[in-house]
Structures are given as C-alpha cells and as structure tokens.
C-alpha cells in the first residue's frame, strides 16, 4: 500500500541518546509510504542524528537548560502533550510511535494518553515488561518490550523495532473504527452486587437503540469511562455504582482518584447518579485489611477481595463529596436513590443491611446540594428490583430529551 493521505506519523524519542534507534524506525515506516516526522524530545545533550523537527518545536531549550533532569523531563512532557493534542484536534495526526527507557517513557506516555482512543499509538519501552499502569493508564497505548535496551542497533533490537513499526503501520492502514459520534452511546458503572440492575437497564436502553458500555467500578473502570467521555465516545452516563467514592474516602483498593466525576460534569452530557455499592469499601484478602478495621463488619467476597460495610459517618462524607462535585455540573443531571437497599448485600436478611448508614448518605447528598434538592429522587425500591431499573432508564431518557431541547 503506497498511496497514503497527508496525515503525519510522529516518531518521538530523546535523540541525544536514542538517535540511531528512532532513525531506523522512521525509515521503516517511510518505506511503507507514510509521511513520518522524526521529533526530538531530548533534554540533555545535542541530538546524535538530525531530526525533522527539533526540540525547539515544542519549547525554547533555554527554558530547561538549568533544570534537573526530572524537571526538564516534566517540562518537555507537558510541551509534547500540548503539541500532539493540537495536531490531533486539527486532524493532522495519523499515528505516533515513541521510544525510550524509563525517562523517555515517563516523558512520552503522558502525551500519548492525552490522544483520542482509537488513534494508533505505540510505545517501545524498557518498562513494558513491568507494571505499565502509570504509563498506559486507561488509554489504548500499545506497549512493546524491546528485550534489549533502547541503546543502539543490533539483530535483536532491529527485529523488535521492525515489528513495532509494522504494528503501527498496520493500525493506520487497517484502522476501521466504528464511528460513534452522534450516535446514542451511554456508559454505566457496575459491580457484581448491582449487576441485576445494570443488566435490566442495558436491556431496556438497547431496545430503544442505545449502545451500552459497562464499566466495572474498580477505580480503573471509572477512569476508563471518563476517558471515553473525554474522547467524545459517550453521549451520556448512568453512574449507577458509585462505590469508587467510598474507596477514595475510606482508603479502599478501588479508588478512581479525587478527579472522579469531573470529566463527566465538565462535558455537559446527560448524567444520572445513584448509590450502587455505597454500602462497601473494598480491600484485598482478609489478612490485608488494615488492623484498625479488623473489628468492622467484614464480608469475604472471595479469597482475594474483602468487603467492609460503610458507617453512617463514612457515608455522610461520601454524600458531601458527591454533592460538591455536582455543584460544577455543566449539563443536565439527576440523582436517584434506592431506599430499599444499595446492593445485593444491603437487603433484608443480608449482612450489610443498615438503613441508618444508607440514610446518612442520602441526607448528606441532599443537604449538600442546597438549591437543587428537586434534582434528587428517592425511590422506595431496592436497587436490583426491575422497577428501579425502569425508573433509572426513564430518568436518563428525560435528561437526554432535556439536553436535545437545549441544543435546538
């Protein structure tokens, strides 16, 4: 395939140390007919090969001359991120391939994470065989472990580089993403203890032509959902299972971070929030539960996960946390609260049934909303009752209609 469009592929590396490696990859991809720009993001010495675009494309090198290596990497990383986002927004970007060790990976990956999901992105990295979560996050970066260090050409490195370059070229040439912008797409958060409700909502919405994406509320699930919102791939969210907030506040193993909900609220898309699994905080195996919690109401979910029932005070803090977030919403939203119980463990005869703790969450959320209590709906049913699922679906569609009228 030799006839390519005018979009650009960027091959990115610190050319003061990775010059021959990046030049080799650039030549390979050019040989397949793509327009490739070799971009230098070095922060120390002068490049060992001639880049197509130097580091001055991103920032004035004088700004980082007297900084520590770590500070210089941070500055260059931020500049690269802004540059690639601008190129992508302008429709100029076909794909990106980065190369590096620990420093180069820390520099390049934040920029790759900021690019839209579906845009081809490859990172050849010496840390790819370890914990890649800090580098990949919830993006679709394709990480390649080079086996040997990214420090010169040899039989092994050439073989791996050729495979990685071919992977990027293949992604570009055979990329057939499903176009979802403008379509009816909704994200729903779920846990095993709220699955019956999510399944019912999913079935109901699919009958009305919606494509439903479910996200396991394990921290990474919430962040992944927000990354799809940021990429414009979701036109609405039903945050049925907000248990990540409990883990954030109490110190469980599945927090989504302090920015949880911010991207959704900033986007202005229709947003329904509920209290799914707000009766629990997640820990690992039973012996990993912090000693200060050993006398709490604990439930062994499986050999690797232990659940702890939230208290009225913890639920109060969670309700206040969400209420503060909702104050900054830019789109239509509603809260729907299942008074009959927030999970399958919070039901009559079940170990987490605690009406007082649930009520503490409900009241704190309502109280924190000040002038917007009319946006909170109390439903007497349990979260996993079919009637509650129907109510959530109807509420969501009413917000969609409201948003549509705003845009007319």
Please report whether residue 297 resides in a domain. no
Count CB-CB contacts under 10 A for residue 137.
17
| 221 and 352 housed in the same domain | yes
The mean pLDDT values, 10 residues at a time, for the chain of 408 residues are 70 95 97 96 92 94 89 95 95 96 94 92 94 87 94 93 96 71 85 96 96 94 91 93 97 94 96 98 94 94 94 98 95 96 96 97 94 86 98 97 82
| 158 and 240 housed in the same domain | no
| 146 and 250 housed in the same domain | no
| 229 and 145 housed in the same domain | no
By CB atoms closer than 10 A (0-12, 13-18, 19+), residue 76 is: buried
Please report whether residue 292 resides in a domain. no
| 256 and 114 housed in the same domain | no
What's the CA gap between 267 and 97, in Å, rounded? Answer: 29
* C-alpha distances out from residue 109 to 79, 150, 304, Å: 12, 16, 31
Please report whether residue 37 resides in a domain. yes
pLDDT computed for residue 1 by the predictor: 41
Closest CA to 36 of 6, 58, 62: 6
Q: Three-state SS for 299?
A: strand
Q: Can you give the CATH number for the domain in which 143 is found?
A: 3.40.50.12020
End residue of a domain, out of 173, 198, 216: 173
pLDDT computed for residue 3 by the predictor: 44
| 228 and 137 housed in the same domain | no
| 115 and 225 housed in the same domain | no
Q: Which two tokens stand for residue 303?
A: 């050999």
Contacts for 207-210: CB closer than 8 Å, 24+ residues apart: 208/184, 208/397, 209/184, 210/184, 210/185, 210/186
pLDDT computed for residue 408 by the predictor: 56
| 169 and 198 housed in the same domain | no
End residue of a domain, out of 118, 139, 173: 173
Please report whether residue 249 resides in a domain. yes
User: What does pTM read for this prediction?
Assistant: 0.77
Please report whether residue 2 resides in a domain. no
| 355 and 273 housed in the same domain | yes
pLDDT computed for residue 117 by the predictor: 86
Please report whether residue 300 resides in a domain. no
What's the CA gap between 16 and 344, in Å, rounded? Answer: 57
Q: Where are the beta strands (DSSP E) in 16-86?
A: 35-40
CA angle 26, 31, 36 (to 5 degrees): 40
What's the CA gap between 408 and 401, in Å, rounded? Answer: 11
Contacts of 305 (CB under 8 A, 6+ apart): 282, 283, 284, 285
Q: Three-state SS for 15?
A: coil
pLDDT computed for residue 2 by the predictor: 44
End residue of a domain, out of 151, 173, 195: 173
Please report whether residue 178 resides in a domain. no
pLDDT computed for residue 4 by the predictor: 55
If one counts the domains in the chain, the total is: 2
| 33 and 60 housed in the same domain | yes
Enclosing domain of residue 163? 8-173
| 140 and 236 housed in the same domain | no
What's the CA gap between 249 and 251, in Å, rounded? Answer: 6
Q: Can you give the CATH number for the domain in which 230 is found?
A: 3.40.50.12030
Please report whether residue 291 resides in a domain. no
| 230 and 370 housed in the same domain | yes
Letter string b/e over residues 257-266, b meaning 16 or more CB atoms within 10 A of that residue's CB:
eeebbebbbe
CA angle 263, 264, 265 (to 5 degrees): 95
């Amino acid at each position: 395939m030799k006839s390519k469009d005018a979009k650009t592929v960027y091959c990115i590396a610190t050319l003061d140390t990775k010059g021959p490696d990046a030049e080799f990859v650039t030549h390979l991809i050019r040989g397949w007919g793509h327009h490739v720009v070799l971009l230098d993001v070095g922060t120390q010495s002068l490049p060992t090969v001639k880049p197509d675009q130097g580091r001055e494309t991103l920032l004035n090198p004088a700004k980082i001359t007297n900084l520590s290596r770590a500070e210089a990497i941070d500055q260059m990383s931020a500049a690269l991120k802004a540059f690639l986002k601008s190129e992508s927004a302008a429709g100029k970007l076909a794909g990106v391939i980065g190369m590096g060790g620990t420093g180069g990976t820390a520099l390049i990956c934040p920029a790759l994470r900021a690019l839209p999901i579906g845009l081809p992105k490859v990172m050849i990295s010496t840390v790819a065989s370890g914990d890649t979560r800090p580098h990949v996050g919830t993006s679709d970066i394709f990480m390649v472990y080079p086996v040997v260090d990214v420090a010169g050409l040899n039989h092994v490195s050439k073989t791996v580089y050729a495979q990685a370059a071919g992977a990027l070229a293949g992604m570009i040439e055979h990329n057939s993403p499903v176009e979802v912008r403008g379509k009816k797409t909704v994200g729903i958060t779920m846990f095993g203890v709220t699955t019956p409700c999510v399944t019912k909502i999913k079935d109901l919405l699919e009958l009305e032509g919606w494509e439903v994406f479910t996200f396991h509320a394990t921290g990474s699930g919430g962040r992944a959902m927000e990354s799809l919102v940021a990429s414009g791939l979701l036109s609405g969210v039903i945050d049925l299972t907000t248990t990540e907030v409990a883990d954030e506040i109490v110190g469980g193993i599945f927090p989504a971070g302090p920015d949880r909900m911010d991207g959704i609220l900033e986007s202005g898309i229709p947003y329904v929030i509920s209290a799914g699994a707000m009766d629990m905080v997640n820990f690992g195996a039973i012996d990993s539960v912090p000693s200060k919690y050993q006398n709490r109401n604990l439930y062994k979910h499986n050999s690797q996960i232990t659940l702890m029932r939230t208290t009225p005070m913890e639920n109060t803090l969670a309700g206040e946390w969400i209420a503060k977030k909702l104050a900054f919403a830019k789109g239509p939203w509603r809260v729907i609260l299942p008074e009959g119980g927030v999970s399958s463990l919070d039901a009559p005869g079940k170990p987490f049934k605690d009406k007082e703790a649930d009520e503490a969450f409900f009241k704190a959320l309502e109280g924190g909303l000040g002038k917007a209590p009319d946006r909170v709906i109390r439903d007497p049913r349990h979260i996993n009752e079919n009637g509650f699922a129907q109510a959530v679906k109807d509420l969501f569609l009413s917000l969609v209609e409201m948003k549509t009228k705003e845009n007319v």
